[in-house]
Homo-oligomer: A and B are copies of this chain.
Amino acid sequence: MSEAWEKLLPHLREMVDLAGAVKLMSWDQATLMPPNASPARARGMATVESIAHQHLINPEVGDLLQELALDDSLDQDQAASVRILKRDYDRATKVPPELVHELAELSGTAYQAWTEARPQSDFSLLQPHLEKMIRLKKEEADAIGWETERYDALLDEFEPEMTTRDVEAMFTELTEGLRPLLEKIVGVSSPRAEFLSKGYDPASQEAFSHWLVDVLNFDSDSGRLDTSPHPFTITIGAGDVRQTTRSEEKDLMMSIYATIHETGHALYEQGLPTELLDLPVGRAPSLGMHESQSRLWENLVGRSRPFTEFMLPHLKERFSAQLGMVNPDEFYRAANHVEPTLIRVTADEVTYNLHLMLRFELELAMFREELDVADLPNAWDAAMEKHLGIRPDSDANGVLQDMHWSNGIQGYFPTYTLGTIYSAAFFAKAQEQLGNLDDELRDGNTARLLGWLRENIHSKAYRYSAKDLAEQVLGAPVSAKPLLEYLRTKYSQLYDISA
């Protein structure tokens, strides 16, 4: 075996272990840490993160990566790991330490300003911080380097090898298809089903979620399900994939779909090859690819006619008073109610990607220097009108609703939509290869589908970029067509319209 690789391995393991420590601290912080522990935890996480960062930018690691880039004795997984780590190393070392520090500090203060600006619906409290953020993120993009345009460098952090131009083309096609569909739905839509907001005991909802993750083959000996205000999935280490859900008494669907969504992420993590877990090649290739799994389970499976039919009697066992009279059709409709609303995180399948399109457009305009931060609130409202046909009643429910921009997370929003695009394409391909899955889903049997995802996606880890992996699976470059096709078919039937 290569001597340089032998020297790199302990570094890789140490990075995995340090990252695992930080992830445990972060999971604990979000789930069950006592409130007064906050300041100490914030400092503790920063300390361990900084030690981990020092490890990554260790010149010894840089030298080994140089050497290994030319080492043709490496096997495929080792070579891929060297490429991936080199990318991380370059991104980490190209940005001057002062800028890294300034950005970390600004993320804290701007996020703090956002937590004050949002409840007061006062964008001016955030504006100066966001102006500085956009300026520093431009500097960061320039330090990292880009070919066609700046935004590429930001997008590349979350969706390696995807370009702004690719995203723009797919998103435009999608949006142009979605808007007419939405208009037709709005023309015939009825109000949200009343039974959804009857009282549902949170503890019983959580018990249902525990049952549900078992049904979906989440391995609870190698993970946990807990609750947190914002559901998430995090892998602490091998054999330790933790997901969370949340429940609201007046919203039955919230916990069900949060759970299925996170289970999609968790099944992906549990399906990554065990023997690669210490290597950079052992992870998912991009956030979009990760989101493809959560969206596939949440929407293509979880909101399907057969799977909603499967869930209903099990829900009735726990909530007979609220759901006793609800039939499978009504339940299916309620799980797929479409209505333009102001808030992204609770948006339905049809409007969700329009929310993302709007954010992507505005982000891009700022980085292309076609939009000033000062004009952002007006631009937001105009874009809401254009894409969703409604205007925010306040900045709190408009431009101030997400924490991403204040937190220095630019280039991230498109990965949500990319994931949704991938999810529909993968599900169509799975049904093409496995045959129609309706009967299995009606029995709550998702084993064959999971097997297909394991074989075609999970087991590949980061051996290919998301784009290349998708092309391999699909036999052609990914496009928005399968998603559009899926939404048109499903919702024209559901709302009895021509699509």
Given contacts A13-B47, A35-B221, contact A40 B20 (CB under 8 A): yes
Q: Are A48 and B238 in contact (CB under 8 A)?
A: no
| Interface-centre pick from A14, A40, A220 (highest chain B CB count, 10 A) | A40
Q: Which residues on the B side are within 8 Å of A44 (C-beta)?
A: 17, 20-21, 237
- Name the interface residues of A1-36: CB closer than 8 Å to any CB of B: 13-14, 17-18, 20-21, 24-25, 28, 32-36
Q: Give the complex CA separation of A21 and B21 in angstroms.
A: 6
Q: Are B220 and A37 in contact (CB under 8 A)?
A: no
- Name the interface residues of A214-254: CB closer than 8 Å to any CB of B: 219-224, 236-240
Q: Which residues on the B side are within 8 Å of A51 (C-beta)?
A: 14, 18, 51
Q: Are B240 and A33 in contact (CB under 8 A)?
A: yes
Chain A's interface size range is 35 or more
Q: Give the complex CA separation of A457 and B346 in angstroms.
A: 53
| In the assembled complex, A43 has its CB within 8 A of some CB on chain B | yes
| In the assembled complex, A38 has its CB within 8 A of some CB on chain B | yes
With beta carbons under 8 angstroms apart, the residue of B32, B37, B221, B239 that contacts A237 is: B37
A223 nearest CB neighbor, chain B only? B34
Q: Are B240 and A34 in contact (CB under 8 A)?
A: yes
| In the assembled complex, A97 has its CB within 8 A of some CB on chain B | no
| Nearest CB of chain B from residue A274's CB, rounded to whole Å | 10
| In the assembled complex, A41 has its CB within 8 A of some CB on chain B | yes
Q: Which residues on the B side are within 8 Å of A33 (C-beta)?
A: 240
| In the assembled complex, A187 has its CB within 8 A of some CB on chain B | no
Q: Which residues on the B side are within 8 Å of A38 (C-beta)?
A: 239
Instruction: Give the B-binding residues of A (Cβ under 8 A).
Output: 13-14, 17-18, 20-21, 24-25, 28, 32-41, 43-44, 47-48, 51, 219-224, 236-240, 277
Show 12 residue pairs from A and B whose CB-CB distance is below 8 angstroms, ordered by the A residue: A14-B47, A17-B43, A24-B28, A33-B240, A34-B239, A35-B221, A36-B221, A39-B239, A40-B237, A40-B240, A40-B277, A41-B240
**Interface pairs A-B: 5 shortest CB-CB:** A36-B239, A40-B237, A37-B240, A17-B47, A40-B238
